[in-house]
Amino acid sequence: MAKQLIFQDEARRRLKAGIDKTAQAIAITLGPKGRNVALDQTWGAPVITHDGVTVAQEIALSEPYENMGAQLLKEAATKTNDIAGDGTTTATVLAHALVSEGLKNMAAGANPMMLKRGLAKATAAVIAALKEQTIPISTRAEMANVASISAQNPEIGALIAEVLDKVGQDGAVTIEEGQGMGLETQYLEGMQFDQGYLSPYFITHVEAMETVLQEPNILLYDQRMSAATDLVPLLEQLVRTSNRNLMVIADDVEGAALATLVLNKLQGTFNLVAVKAPGFSHHRTAMLQDIAVLTGGTLISQETGRRIEAVTLADLGCCDKVVVTKDNTTILGGHGAETVIKGRIDQIKSEIDHTISDYDREKLQARLAKLTGGVGVIKVGAATAVELKEKKQRVEDALSATQA
pLDDT tens-place string over residues 3-58 = 888 898 899 999 999 999 999 999 999 987 888 899 988 888 888 888 888 999 99
CA distance linking residue 215 with residue 247, whole number of Å = 10
Its CATH class, for the domain covering 140-189+379-403, is alpha beta
Q: Select 8-133's CATH number: 2.60.40.10, 1.10.260.40, 1.10.560.10, 1.10.520.20.
A: 1.10.560.10
Residue 136: CB atoms within 10 A of its CB come to 6
Reduced to 3 states (helix: H, G, I; strand: E, B; else coil), residue 229 is helix
The alpha carbons of the chain give a radius of gyration, in whole angstroms, of 25
Pairing of strands 271-276, 299-300: unpaired
pLDDT number for residue 128 = 95
CATH topology of domain 191-336: GroEL (3.50.7)
Reduced to 3 states (helix: H, G, I; strand: E, B; else coil), residue 278 is coil
CA distance linking residue 171 with residue 186, whole number of Å = 14
Domain ranges of the chain: 8-133, 140-189+379-403, 191-336
pLDDT number for residue 373 = 65
Chain segment 277-288, per-residue pLDDT in tens = 998 888 889 999
Using a 10 angstrom Cβ sphere, with 0-12 exposed, 13-18 middle and 19 or more buried, the burial of residue 256 is middle
Burial 51-69 (b: 16+ CB within 10 A, else e): bbbbbbeebebeeebbbeb
The parts of the chain modelled with pLDDT lower than 50 are: none
Q: What is the DSSP string of 152-190?
A: T-HHHHHHHHHHHHHH-TTSEEEEEE-SSSSEEEEEE-E
Residue 73 CA to its chain's centroid (Å): 22
- Sign of the CA dihedral with 316 first, then 319, 320, and 323 last: negative
pLDDT number for residue 1 = 66
pTM above 0.85, yes or no: no
CA distance linking residue 189 with residue 298, whole number of Å = 19
Helix locations, 202-355, DSSP H? 232-238, 255-266, 281-295, 338-354
